[in-house]
Amino acid sequence: MPRRALLGVIALLLALLFRFSFWGGAVYFALVGYIYFSEPPERTALRVSFWTIAVAAFLAFWSVSFLPALLIPSIVKGMIALLYGAVLYILLGLSRLAFTDRALLYRVVHSGILFFVMAEFFLYAPSLGNASFFPLFFWFGGMALLLTLLMKEAFGFLEAGRPRTVRLLSFAFALLALEVSALALFLPLGFISAGAFLALFLIMLRDTFLAHFEGNLGFSFILKQLTFFAVFSSILFATAPWFLP
């Protein structure tokens, strides 16, 4: 497991060395595919998270590799690679049942995945002012599909709810997330701040659904969640680099 996580980091750095050309991407996804298909059958329970992390890490490196070196220091690239290796290590360990508290670790990893997905959504999403309807429609549709699959995987991995209920709630979760993200596109926020805000909203919503399935949903839990969301979103908006398009 540690060797495969290290292999994933090396694959990402090789893609960076090739400046994310066609061959760089081919080498990266070939090695990542080897890591995935060499895992035990339990890997299918985490296939959405695995490939989402693989693509998100590739896009994160690809976006910083074409910026001036002075704007993106090497330590930032190193942090992305180390974070990718850590997440990959945990995912491989969860698929091999190597961790005792699988539910807690999966929630942590799932929260990180939601943040990276939403941050890259705001980074690459076409602007509402200079994009036609169909590119936005397909962009939002793809994001809705990805969020539905991520939430379906989370509910299934944590064994919460019946399959039919899980499918309906996952779809409703994705639609609500896209409505909030569409509103956030009108706010003069940077993509990291907007992604953190949406991730905070999605994590609160996910934990509320899970508490309902576990029978722990009550007034005190909802009040605690709302207080947590209000405090951290206020801090986020107060420290966000606001800008006008």
Domain shared by 81 and 178, yes or no:
no
Domain shared by 177 and 139, yes or no:
yes
Dihedral, CA atoms, 144, 21, 61, 46, nearest 10 degrees?
Answer: 50
User: Is 199 or 60 the better-scoring residue by pLDDT?
Assistant: 199
Confidence band (pLDDT; 50, 70, 90) for 94?
Answer: confident
Q: What is the DSSP string of 41-55?
A: GGGGGGHHHHHHHHH
**Predicted confidence (pLDDT) per residue in 70-79, tens digit:** 455 566 777 7
Domain shared by 112 and 91, yes or no:
no
Domain shared by 159 and 127, yes or no:
yes
Task: State how far the alpha carbon of 196 is from the alpha carbons of 114, 147, 163, in Å.
Answer: 9, 15, 29
CB-based contact 54:114 (threshold 8 Å): no
Residue 134 has pLDDT above 70, yes or no: no
What's the domain count of the chain? 2
Tell which of 99, 134, 162 closes a domain: 99
Tell which of 45, 77, 99 closes a domain: 99
| Rounded mean pLDDT, 182-202 | 82
Residue 129 has pLDDT above 70, yes or no: no
Domain shared by 169 and 187, yes or no:
yes
Structure-block tokens of residue 14: 């090789």
**Residue indicated by tokens 């890259």:** 120
Domain shared by 125 and 85, yes or no:
no
What is the CB neighbour count within 10 angstroms for residue 115? 19
**Residue indicated by tokens 């309902």:** 212
pTM above 0.95, yes or no: no
Domain shared by 87 and 133, yes or no:
no
* Residue 52: per-residue pLDDT: 92
Domain shared by 107 and 205, yes or no:
yes
Dihedral sign from CA coordinates of 5, 10, 13, 14: negative
Tell which of 99, 129, 153 closes a domain: 99
CA distance 5 to 90: 9
Domain shared by 241 and 120, yes or no:
yes
Q: Name which of 110, 140, 118 is nearest 48 in CA terms.
A: 110
- Structural domain including 8 reads 1-99
Residue 202 has pLDDT above 70, yes or no: yes
Domain shared by 126 and 208, yes or no:
yes
